[in-house]
Amino acid sequence: GCPLFRVRIVCVCVLCAYLCYVCCECCVGATVLVVLYVRVLYVCVARVECLLCGACVKDNIRPRIPKEQFRPLCQAEPSEAESGLAPELPLKVILVGDSRCGKTALATRFVPDAFTEVYTPTGFDRYSTNIEVAGQRIHYSVWDTSGSPAYDTVRPLSYQDASVVLLCFHVGWPESLHNVQHKWFPEVRQHCPGAALVLVGCQSDARQVQRQQHGADRCVSAEEALASARQLGVTAYVETSARYAPRSVRDAWKAAAQAALGETAAPEGARDTSPMRHRTCSIM
């Protein structure tokens, strides 16, 4: 049997002999104390035997944990690679462009999928979400910056570690595209030269609105924007309307992820993605 069992028997025998001696020499009270002591020692030895060798463990006293289910506390949780999940790619995306050109609507239509008619000046806002693009899990960290000149000295602080920069302009304001070429592009290239660039024409529904109101539009044409995109050497040009075409917004953020992943398609003609004729063009 178990060596500890034999030790227990020896201890009990010794104590029984001592008990007989006490019964003869001492009072009854002392005898009772010795009996209690023998009982306590017997139980303690039995418990030690159960803990160390497991020979006397009963199911109703201590449940056994299967070895295959036991994991030390210091062992780390399984990694994404071990669990079979694709690793998540962190993507920091910066939105730059003139004030009121549509940057915030582009961000809020993507993350909470909401649109508001009320304009609220932006200081610096951040949004985050997780999307799968082309089988790759992407964690978007979106930085919506202010286009106000008052923030020109602090805005560059947001460019650190940027993966992609969306150069935004208002399709209905030709001067906003001019500012992309002469202000925003040089600023971005100075502070984050390694970031991928995507040119985004926001509020593309302005073309139809101006035609309806004035009989003609003075908007930036898709051809003009595409020529500027080629001149700047950006990865892609995307037109969006956060108000009327949520799909075009998703296309813009998909283009941002593809730019970060280094995925570009061959140049293609402008294609319709909504009744407002929103376009997505890739530039090589």
Return the residue matching tokens 């209690």. 36
Residues 6+ apart with CB under 8 A from 165: 93, 94, 95, 96, 159, 188, 192, 195, 196, 197, 198
For the beta carbon of residue 145, count every other beta carbon within 10 angstroms: 24
Contact 99, 146 (CB under 8 A): yes
Encode pLDDT of 113-169 as tens digits.
Answer: 777 776 777 788 999 999 998 888 999 999 999 999 999 999 999 999 999 999 999
* Three-class DSSP category at 91: strand
- The full DSSP string for 187-220 is HHHHH-TTSEEEEEEE-TTHHHHHHHHHSS--SP
Q: Amino acid identity of 40?
A: V
C-alpha torsion 118→121→123→128, nearest 10:
20
Please report, in tens digits, the pLDDT of each residue of the chain (284 residues total).
555 555 666 666 666 666 666 565 555 555 556 566 656 666 665 665 555 555 444 444 444 545 444 444 444 555 555 555 568 899 999 999 999 999 999 999 998 877 777 677 778 899 999 999 888 899 999 999 999 999 999 999 999 999 999 999 999 999 999 999 999 999 999 999 999 999 999 999 988 888 878 766 789 999 999 999 999 999 999 999 999 999 999 999 999 999 998 864 433 433 333 334 445 555 54
Give the pLDDT confidence score for residue 236 in this predicted structure: 95
Strand bridging mode 124-133 / 136-145? antiparallel
| Angstrom distance (rounded) from CA 50 to CA 53 | 6
Q: Give the Cα separation of 178 and 97 in Å (integer).
A: 11
Maximum CA pair distance of the chain? 125
Q: What are phi and psi of 107, to 5 degrees?
A: -75, -45
pLDDT of residue 82: 54
Q: Helix and strand tally (H, E) in the chain? A: 8, 7
